[in-house]
A = this chain, B = another copy of it.
Protein backbone atom coordinates (compact mmCIF):
# COMPACT_ATOMS: atom_id res chain seq x y z
CA UNK A 1 0.00 0.00 0.00
CA UNK A 2 1.33 3.39 -1.04
CA UNK A 3 0.09 6.53 0.71
CA UNK A 4 0.53 9.84 -1.09
CA UNK A 5 -0.34 13.30 0.19
CA UNK A 6 -0.91 16.14 -2.22
CA UNK A 7 -1.13 19.89 -1.71
CA UNK A 8 -1.23 23.07 -3.76
CA UNK A 9 0.47 26.13 -2.37
CA UNK A 10 0.93 29.80 -3.20
CA UNK A 11 -1.05 31.91 -5.65
CA UNK A 12 -3.34 29.73 -7.69
CA UNK A 13 -3.17 29.35 -11.45
CA UNK A 14 -4.77 27.44 -14.29
CA UNK A 15 -3.93 23.78 -14.53
CA UNK A 16 -3.65 22.89 -10.85
CA UNK A 17 -6.60 20.51 -11.05
CA UNK A 18 -5.38 19.09 -14.36
CA UNK A 19 -2.04 18.29 -12.74
CA UNK A 20 -3.62 16.87 -9.57
CA UNK A 21 -5.83 14.69 -11.77
CA UNK A 22 -2.87 13.37 -13.76
CA UNK A 23 -0.89 12.42 -10.65
CA UNK A 24 -3.92 10.66 -9.17
CA UNK A 25 -5.00 8.89 -12.36
CA UNK A 26 -1.49 7.64 -13.02
CA UNK A 27 -1.20 6.33 -9.45
CA UNK A 28 -4.58 4.59 -9.55
CA UNK A 29 -3.80 3.19 -12.98
CA UNK A 30 -0.51 1.73 -11.78
CA UNK A 31 -1.47 0.67 -8.28
CA UNK A 32 -5.23 0.17 -8.37
CA UNK A 33 -6.47 -0.29 -4.81
CA UNK A 34 -2.93 -0.31 -3.51
CA UNK A 35 -2.73 3.44 -3.24
CA UNK A 36 -4.37 5.95 -0.92
CA UNK A 37 -4.30 9.63 -1.76
CA UNK A 38 -4.68 12.27 0.92
CA UNK A 39 -5.83 15.73 -0.10
CA UNK A 40 -4.17 18.31 2.14
CA UNK A 41 -6.21 21.51 2.34
CA UNK A 42 -5.08 25.07 1.69
CA UNK A 43 -1.41 24.48 1.03
CA UNK A 44 1.18 23.92 3.75
CA UNK A 45 -1.44 25.28 6.14
CA UNK A 46 -3.32 22.00 5.92
CA UNK A 47 -0.15 20.04 6.60
CA UNK A 48 0.70 22.22 9.58
CA UNK A 49 -2.72 22.27 11.17
CA UNK A 50 -3.79 18.77 10.18
CA UNK A 51 -6.50 19.71 7.69
CA UNK A 52 -6.62 16.85 5.20
CA UNK A 53 -8.86 14.04 4.02
CA UNK A 54 -8.60 10.73 2.21
CA UNK A 55 -9.69 11.27 -1.37
CA UNK A 56 -11.93 9.01 -3.41
CA UNK A 57 -11.17 8.05 -6.96
CA UNK A 58 -14.05 10.05 -8.36
CA UNK A 59 -12.85 13.24 -6.62
CA UNK A 60 -10.39 13.43 -9.50
CA UNK A 61 -12.98 13.04 -12.27
CA UNK A 62 -14.29 16.00 -14.22
CA UNK A 63 -11.69 18.43 -12.91
CA UNK A 64 -9.39 18.62 -15.94
CA UNK A 65 -10.92 21.85 -17.20
CA UNK A 66 -11.80 23.49 -13.88
CA UNK A 67 -9.87 26.59 -12.79
CA UNK A 68 -8.53 27.04 -9.28
CA UNK A 69 -7.68 24.04 -7.12
CA UNK A 70 -9.99 21.52 -5.50
CA UNK A 71 -7.56 21.39 -2.58
CA UNK A 72 -7.55 25.12 -1.86
CA UNK A 73 -4.33 27.02 -1.45
CA UNK A 74 -2.73 29.62 0.78
CA UNK A 75 0.46 31.57 0.99
CA UNK A 76 2.80 30.35 3.74
CA UNK A 77 5.90 32.51 3.42
CA UNK A 78 9.06 30.43 3.63
CA UNK A 79 10.59 32.96 5.99
CA UNK A 80 7.97 32.20 8.60
CA UNK A 81 8.13 28.44 8.32
CA UNK A 82 10.71 28.27 11.10
CA UNK A 83 8.86 30.87 13.20
CA UNK A 84 6.75 29.37 15.97
CA UNK A 85 3.00 30.03 15.66
CA UNK A 86 2.69 31.52 19.14
CA UNK A 87 -1.07 31.86 19.00
CA UNK A 88 -1.60 28.15 18.52
CA UNK A 89 1.64 27.09 20.14
CA UNK A 90 2.77 25.22 17.06
CA UNK A 91 6.22 24.53 15.69
CA UNK A 92 5.26 24.45 12.02
CA UNK A 93 8.02 22.25 10.66
CA UNK A 94 7.60 19.76 13.44
CA UNK A 95 3.86 19.77 12.93
CA UNK A 96 4.23 19.07 9.22
CA UNK A 97 6.49 16.12 9.91
CA UNK A 98 4.08 14.79 12.49
CA UNK A 99 1.07 15.06 10.20
CA UNK A 100 3.07 13.40 7.45
CA UNK A 101 3.67 10.51 9.82
CA UNK A 102 0.10 10.52 11.10
CA UNK A 103 -1.16 10.02 7.56
CA UNK A 104 1.47 7.35 7.09
CA UNK A 105 2.64 8.99 3.87
CA UNK A 106 5.22 7.49 1.57
CA UNK A 107 5.45 10.73 -0.32
CA UNK A 108 4.22 14.30 -0.38
CA UNK A 109 3.38 15.83 -3.77
CA UNK A 110 3.66 19.60 -3.81
CA UNK A 111 2.38 21.87 -6.59
CA UNK A 112 3.72 25.35 -6.27
CA UNK A 113 5.89 28.24 -7.34
CA UNK A 114 9.09 29.75 -6.05
CA UNK A 115 8.23 30.18 -2.41
CA UNK A 116 6.63 26.77 -2.33
CA UNK A 117 9.79 25.16 -3.63
CA UNK A 118 11.91 26.65 -0.86
CA UNK A 119 9.64 24.98 1.65
CA UNK A 120 9.49 21.78 -0.38
CA UNK A 121 13.26 21.59 -0.38
CA UNK A 122 13.37 22.26 3.33
CA UNK A 123 10.88 19.45 3.99
CA UNK A 124 12.94 17.18 1.79
CA UNK A 125 16.04 18.03 3.80
CA UNK A 126 14.05 17.36 6.96
CA UNK A 127 13.60 13.83 5.71
CA UNK A 128 10.21 13.83 4.05
CA UNK A 129 9.85 12.22 0.63
CA UNK A 130 8.84 15.04 -1.66
CA UNK A 131 8.02 15.28 -5.35
CA UNK A 132 6.99 18.65 -6.77
CA UNK A 133 5.45 20.18 -9.88
CA UNK A 134 6.27 23.67 -11.19
CA UNK A 135 3.15 25.82 -11.08
CA UNK A 136 2.97 29.55 -11.76
CA UNK A 137 1.74 32.01 -14.34
CA UNK A 138 5.10 33.73 -13.96
CA UNK A 139 7.23 30.98 -15.56
CA UNK A 140 10.02 31.99 -13.22
CA UNK A 141 10.90 28.67 -11.61
CA UNK A 142 14.53 27.77 -11.99
CA UNK A 143 15.36 24.45 -13.63
CA UNK A 144 12.39 24.21 -15.97
CA UNK A 145 11.78 25.84 -19.33
CA UNK A 146 8.10 26.08 -18.68
CA UNK A 147 5.67 26.13 -15.78
CA UNK A 148 2.02 25.30 -16.08
CA UNK A 149 -0.42 28.18 -15.83
CA UNK A 150 1.89 30.43 -17.83
CA UNK A 151 0.44 29.77 -21.27
CA UNK A 152 -3.15 30.06 -20.04
CA UNK A 153 -2.42 33.39 -18.39
CA UNK A 154 -0.66 34.45 -21.57
CA UNK A 155 -3.80 33.68 -23.59
CA UNK A 156 -5.85 35.92 -21.31
CA UNK A 157 -3.41 38.82 -21.21
CA UNK A 158 -3.13 38.60 -25.00
CA UNK A 159 -6.90 38.66 -25.38
CA UNK A 160 -7.02 41.83 -23.30
CA UNK A 161 -4.40 43.51 -25.48
CA UNK A 162 -6.18 42.27 -28.63
CA UNK A 163 -9.48 43.79 -27.67
CA UNK A 164 -7.88 47.04 -26.64
CA UNK A 165 -6.05 47.03 -29.95
CA UNK A 166 -9.31 47.09 -31.84
CA UNK A 167 -10.71 49.93 -29.80
CA UNK A 168 -7.39 51.78 -29.92
CA UNK A 169 -7.34 51.90 -33.70
CA UNK A 170 -10.60 53.87 -33.65
CA UNK A 171 -9.34 56.58 -31.32
CA UNK A 172 -6.15 58.60 -30.96
CA UNK A 173 -5.13 57.26 -27.63
CA UNK A 174 -2.48 55.58 -25.56
CA UNK A 175 -3.44 52.43 -23.70
CA UNK A 176 -1.50 50.88 -20.85
CA UNK A 177 -2.30 47.26 -20.04
CA UNK A 178 -0.87 46.08 -16.75
CA UNK A 179 0.08 42.43 -17.03
CA UNK A 180 0.85 40.27 -13.98
CA UNK A 181 4.49 39.74 -13.01
CA UNK A 182 6.08 41.48 -10.02
CA UNK A 183 9.57 40.09 -10.27
CA UNK A 184 9.90 38.72 -13.81
CA UNK A 185 8.61 39.78 -17.21
CA UNK A 186 7.98 36.46 -18.97
CA UNK A 187 4.22 36.80 -19.04
CA UNK A 188 4.25 40.39 -20.18
CA UNK A 189 6.95 39.73 -22.75
CA UNK A 190 5.00 36.88 -24.35
CA UNK A 191 1.62 38.62 -24.13
CA UNK A 192 3.09 41.88 -25.38
CA UNK A 193 4.57 40.18 -28.44
CA UNK A 194 1.44 38.11 -29.01
CA UNK A 195 -0.84 41.12 -28.66
CA UNK A 196 1.26 43.33 -30.90
CA UNK A 197 2.14 45.85 -28.19
CA UNK A 198 4.30 48.76 -29.28
CA UNK A 199 6.09 49.04 -25.96
CA UNK A 200 6.83 46.24 -23.50
CA UNK A 201 8.03 47.13 -20.02
CA UNK A 202 9.44 44.36 -17.84
CA UNK A 203 11.21 44.35 -14.46
CA UNK A 204 14.42 43.08 -16.05
CA UNK A 205 14.76 46.15 -18.31
CA UNK A 206 14.19 49.43 -16.43
CA UNK A 207 12.49 52.03 -18.60
CA UNK A 208 13.00 55.68 -19.31
CA UNK A 209 9.65 57.45 -19.48
CA UNK A 210 11.00 59.85 -22.12
CA UNK A 211 11.89 56.92 -24.33
CA UNK A 212 8.36 55.62 -23.97
CA UNK A 213 6.98 59.05 -24.84
CA UNK A 214 9.24 59.10 -27.91
CA UNK A 215 7.58 55.94 -29.21
CA UNK A 216 4.18 57.62 -28.93
CA UNK A 217 5.42 60.69 -30.75
CA UNK A 218 7.18 58.69 -33.44
CA UNK A 219 4.08 56.62 -34.10
CA UNK A 220 2.04 59.80 -34.36
CA UNK A 221 4.50 61.12 -36.94
CA UNK A 222 4.01 57.87 -38.89
CA UNK A 223 0.27 58.44 -38.95
CA UNK A 224 -0.46 55.84 -36.29
CA UNK A 225 -2.77 57.51 -33.84
CA UNK A 226 -2.49 55.05 -31.01
CA UNK A 227 0.13 53.29 -28.92
CA UNK A 228 -0.25 50.21 -26.79
CA UNK A 229 2.01 49.72 -23.81
CA UNK A 230 2.16 46.37 -22.05
CA UNK A 231 3.57 47.01 -18.59
CA UNK A 232 4.41 44.25 -16.15
CA UNK A 233 3.26 44.87 -12.57
CA UNK A 234 6.92 45.03 -11.65
CA UNK A 235 7.94 47.45 -14.41
CA UNK A 236 10.35 49.97 -13.00
CA UNK A 237 11.92 53.20 -14.19
CA UNK A 238 15.67 53.67 -14.39
CA UNK A 239 15.57 56.13 -11.50
CA UNK A 240 13.67 53.64 -9.38
CA UNK A 241 15.97 50.81 -10.37
CA UNK A 242 18.87 52.82 -8.97
CA UNK A 243 17.19 53.09 -5.58
CA UNK A 244 17.70 50.68 -2.73
CA UNK A 245 14.76 48.33 -2.21
CA UNK A 246 13.57 50.08 0.94
CA UNK A 247 13.94 53.51 -0.62
CA UNK A 248 12.06 52.33 -3.70
CA UNK A 249 9.16 51.00 -1.64
CA UNK A 250 8.92 54.27 0.27
CA UNK A 251 9.04 56.19 -3.01
CA UNK A 252 6.21 54.18 -4.55
CA UNK A 253 4.12 54.36 -1.39
CA UNK A 254 4.54 58.12 -1.22
CA UNK A 255 3.04 58.44 -4.70
CA UNK A 256 -0.09 56.61 -3.64
CA UNK A 257 -0.78 54.82 -6.93
CA UNK A 258 -2.50 51.45 -6.57
CA UNK A 259 -0.19 50.00 -9.20
CA UNK A 260 2.46 50.90 -11.74
CA UNK A 261 0.14 51.48 -14.72
CA UNK A 262 -1.48 54.48 -13.05
CA UNK A 263 1.91 55.97 -12.22
CA UNK A 264 3.13 55.48 -15.77
CA UNK A 265 -0.06 57.03 -17.11
CA UNK A 266 0.52 60.18 -15.08
CA UNK A 267 4.17 60.31 -16.05
CA UNK A 268 3.25 60.03 -19.72
CA UNK A 269 0.54 62.65 -19.39
CA UNK A 270 3.30 65.06 -18.43
CA UNK A 271 5.24 64.14 -21.56
CA UNK A 272 2.51 63.97 -24.23
CA UNK A 273 -0.84 65.51 -25.07
CA UNK A 274 -2.47 62.13 -25.59
CA UNK A 275 -5.43 60.72 -23.77
CA UNK A 276 -4.20 57.74 -21.78
CA UNK A 277 -6.32 54.82 -20.63
CA UNK A 278 -5.39 52.10 -18.18
CA UNK A 279 -6.57 48.49 -17.95
CA UNK A 280 -5.66 46.29 -14.99
CA UNK A 281 -7.12 42.84 -15.64
CA UNK A 282 -5.64 41.57 -12.37
CA UNK A 283 -6.56 38.11 -11.12
CA UNK A 284 -8.57 37.55 -14.30
CA UNK A 285 -5.22 36.33 -15.62
CA UNK A 286 -4.94 33.50 -13.08
CA UNK A 287 -8.43 32.07 -13.45
CA UNK A 288 -10.56 30.00 -15.71
CA UNK A 289 -9.96 26.80 -17.59
CA UNK A 290 -6.38 25.90 -18.52
CA UNK A 291 -5.57 26.13 -22.23
CA UNK A 292 -4.87 22.99 -24.24
CA UNK A 293 -1.13 23.54 -23.97
CA UNK A 294 -1.25 23.63 -20.18
CA UNK A 295 -3.50 20.60 -19.96
CA UNK A 296 -1.06 18.54 -21.99
CA UNK A 297 1.84 19.88 -19.92
CA UNK A 298 0.01 19.14 -16.65
CA UNK A 299 -0.74 15.61 -17.83
CA UNK A 300 2.86 14.99 -18.75
CA UNK A 301 4.20 16.48 -15.51
CA UNK A 302 1.61 14.65 -13.44
CA UNK A 303 2.36 11.30 -15.07
CA UNK A 304 6.08 11.93 -14.57
CA UNK A 305 5.55 12.77 -10.90
CA UNK A 306 3.62 9.55 -10.41
CA UNK A 307 6.44 7.65 -12.07
CA UNK A 308 8.98 9.16 -9.65
CA UNK A 309 6.79 8.05 -6.78
CA UNK A 310 6.55 4.53 -8.17
CA UNK A 311 10.34 4.50 -8.54
CA UNK A 312 10.75 6.03 -5.08
CA UNK A 313 12.88 8.68 -6.66
CA UNK A 314 12.22 11.50 -4.21
CA UNK A 315 13.51 15.01 -3.65
CA UNK A 316 12.85 16.14 -7.20
CA UNK A 317 10.75 18.58 -9.15
CA UNK A 318 9.49 17.34 -12.53
CA UNK A 319 10.65 19.85 -15.10
CA UNK A 320 10.77 20.61 -18.81
CA UNK A 321 14.26 20.68 -20.29
CA UNK A 322 14.86 20.74 -24.04
CA UNK A 323 11.19 19.86 -24.37
CA UNK A 324 11.57 16.68 -22.36
CA UNK A 325 10.22 15.91 -18.90
CA UNK A 326 13.06 15.33 -16.45
CA UNK A 327 13.54 15.28 -12.68
CA UNK A 328 15.55 18.14 -11.16
CA UNK A 329 16.70 17.99 -7.53
CA UNK A 330 14.76 20.34 -5.25
CA UNK A 331 18.07 21.62 -3.92
CA UNK A 332 18.90 22.88 -7.40
CA UNK A 333 15.54 24.59 -7.82
CA UNK A 334 15.01 26.19 -4.42
CA UNK A 335 15.84 29.84 -3.88
CA UNK A 336 16.60 30.71 -7.48
CA UNK A 337 14.62 32.81 -9.91
CA UNK A 338 14.48 32.37 -13.68
CA UNK A 339 14.39 35.89 -15.08
CA UNK A 340 14.13 37.03 -18.69
CA UNK A 341 17.60 37.15 -20.26
CA UNK A 342 17.80 40.76 -21.39
CA UNK A 343 19.93 39.86 -24.39
CA UNK A 344 18.17 36.59 -25.09
CA UNK A 345 16.60 35.53 -28.34
CA UNK A 346 13.07 36.48 -27.33
CA UNK A 347 13.88 40.05 -26.35
CA UNK A 348 16.00 40.39 -29.47
CA UNK A 349 13.24 39.05 -31.69
CA UNK A 350 10.89 41.62 -30.18
CA UNK A 351 13.38 44.40 -30.77
CA UNK A 352 14.01 43.11 -34.29
CA UNK A 353 10.40 43.70 -35.28
CA UNK A 354 10.44 47.18 -33.78
CA UNK A 355 9.05 46.70 -30.29
CA UNK A 356 10.48 49.16 -27.76
CA UNK A 357 11.42 48.20 -24.21
CA UNK A 358 11.50 51.84 -23.23
CA UNK A 359 15.23 51.74 -22.68
The one of B171, B288, B304 in contact with A166, judged by C-beta atoms closer than 8 angstroms, is B288
Pair A291/B164 contact, Cβ less than 8 Å? no
**A30→B353 CA distance, assembly (Å):** 9
Q: Which residue of B lies closest to A173 (CB)?
A: B283
- Chain A positions 278-319 with a Cβ under 8 Å from a chain B Cβ: 278-289, 291-293, 295-296, 299-300, 302-304, 306-307
Closest to A353 in B: B25
Q: A65-78 toward B: CB 8 Å interface, digit per residue (1/0)?
A: 11111001110000
A interface secondary structure, majority:
helix
Question: Within 8 Å CB of A191, what residues of B?
Answer: 292
B277 contacts A283, C-beta separation under 8 Å: yes
**Which of A155, A175, A291 is most buried by chain B, counting CB atoms within 10 A of its CB?**
A291
Q: Could you tell me the distance in whole angstroms from the C-beta of A177 to the nearest C-beta in chain B? A: 8
Instruction: Output the least CB separation between A321 and chain B (Å).
Output: 8
Closest to A189 in B: B296
Chain A contributes a number of interface residues (CB within 8 A of B) equal to 88
Asked if A62 CB lies within 8 Å of chain B CBs, one says yes
Oligomeric state, in copies: 4
Chain B contacts of A12 at CB under 8 A? Answer: 167, 170-171
**Which residues does chain B contribute within 8 Å of A325, judged by CB atoms?**
345, 349
Q: A65-B196, A155-B291, A258-B262 are in contact. Are A26 and B352 (CB under 8 A)?
A: yes
> Given A65-B162, A170-B73, A302-B353, does the pair A291, B288 have CB atoms closer than 8 Å?
no
In the assembled complex, the CB of A54 is this many whole angstroms from the nearest CB of chain B, namely 20
- Quick check: A307 and B170 within 8 Å, CB to CB? no
Contact A278 B281 (CB under 8 A): no
Q: How far does the Cβ of A349 sit from chain B's closest Cβ, in whole Å?
A: 4
Distance between Cα atoms of A89 and B151 in the complex (Å) = 51
Cα–Cα distance between A292 and B179 once the two chains are bound (Å): 14
CB within 8 A of A277: which of B156, B282, B354?
A: B282
Is the C-beta of A250 less than 8 angstroms from some C-beta in chain B?
no
Q: Kindly state whether residue A254 has any CB partner on chain B within 8 Å.
A: no
Residues B352 and A303 in contact, CB atoms below 8 Å apart:
yes
Q: Using Cβ atoms and an 8 Å threshold, which residues of chain B touch A307?
A: 352
Q: How would residues 121 to 147 of chain A score, 1 for a CB under 8 Å from any chain B CB and 0 otherwise?
A: 000000000000000000000000100
CB distance from A6 to the nearest CB of B (A): 14
Q: Is the CB of B293 within 8 A of A293?
A: yes
CA distance A155 to B295 in the complex (A): 11
CB pair B322–A323 under 8 Å, yes or no, is yes
Residues of B within 8 A of A285 (CB): 163
Show 6 A/B contacts (Cβ-Cβ < 8 Å), sorted by A.
Answer: A26-B352, A162-B288, A164-B284, A168-B283, A193-B299, A300-B346
A residues at B contact (CB < 8 Å):
8, 12, 16, 21-22, 25-26, 28-30, 62, 64-69, 72-74, 145, 151, 154-160, 162-172, 175, 190-191, 193-196, 256-258, 262, 277-289, 291-293, 295-296, 299-300, 302-304, 306-307, 322-325, 345-346, 348-350, 352-354
